Amino acid sequence: MKTIHAFLKAAAVALRVGVVVLAAVSPHVSDNLYGAVVYEDTFSANPGALNGRTTASGFGNWTTSDSAFQVGSGQITINSNTPVDYHAASFALPTLTGSDTLSLTITVRPSGANFTGFGFNPNPATGPTPYLTQNGYGWVYYEGLGAATPNIQIFKGASTAGAIYFAALTNPALNFNASLPTTFQYTYSASAKTLSLTAVNGTSSSTLLNNADVSTIPLSAFSNFSLQFQGQTLGSDTNPAYVDYLKVEVVPEPTTYAMLLCGLGAMTALRSRRR
């Protein structure tokens, strides 16, 4: 009986110690054991060029394909008088493991007849294929006010390969107002290799993807978060494209911690019992 009591006591101590150790050493953990806000930006501070803007510890700074991107009035936007030109911006993500879940929230509005894209690219905005239309994975194409048929499309990639979603904003499943910003909630599970995506626009909300199979997307595709804008002229475009909120979370799989805690507990209890 004493042996069992000692075993349980040692296991409990090991569990408490394990939680403290994990919280201290895990590169993903800051706010709680199972997830951490690693980068959040309302773009209300530090106006100016987007290129070089700092993100958070463990993430790369923003880089851009050109000088058109800027931050001001709580938004990322661009100023270009060549509307057909493409502009790319990106920042490096922490290296994901096969047990991580990547969660991304972004509020965006596309410009006029042009589109705005967001997603992931193995290459940065300064790389050889910076645009999502060239090398994007798990990315959203959003065409807004002024387009013949404002719509949302989602591609597995690379580029526009593997189309897995299309809907006009007037589709009853969406009923989105193209003049309003839309908040997308994006969740990628590296272990399950699935992608879920929801969107909120005004008083309307919709589930665009629910655990869609994206097993063809390599883990290396999630090296950089990437934006792609078409050009616009801020002084004359009555509905300029912008991003005014971005939040990224990396959530380790709970079983990863459970197994580690059990292992710590078992080893400590066994050592105590041998004593």
Query: Euclidean distance between the first and final Cα of the chain, in Å?
Result: 16
Cβ atoms of 47 and 71 within 8 Å: the answer is: yes
Phi-psi group of 193: left, alpha or beta (phi > 0 → left; psi -120 to 50 → alpha; rest → beta)? left
* Tokens describing residue 83: 């509307």
Check residue 56 and give its pLDDT.
95
Check residue 234 and give its pLDDT.
72
Tokens 């459970």 map to which residue? 258
- Rounded (10°) CA dihedral 111, 112, 113, 117: 10
Check residue 19 and give its pLDDT.
43
Global pTM value: 0.81
Secondary structure letter of residue 170 according to DSSP:
T
Beta bridge partners of 228: 88, 117
Cα distances (angstroms) measured from residue 233 to each of 78, 223, 236: 8, 31, 6
CATH architecture of 33-253: Sandwich (2.60)
User: Can you list the residues of the chain whose pLDDT is less than 70?
Assistant: 1-37, 83-84, 235, 253-275
Check residue 20 and give its pLDDT.
44
How far, in Å, CA of 63 to CA of 189, rounded?
Answer: 26
Check residue 251 and give its pLDDT.
82
Nearest to 101 by CA among 219, 189, 222, 193: 189
Check residue 80 and give its pLDDT.
79
pLDDT tens for 224-273 read 999 999 877 776 777 788 999 999 998 886 654 444 445 545 455 445 55
Amino acid at 66: D
Check residue 34 and give its pLDDT.
47
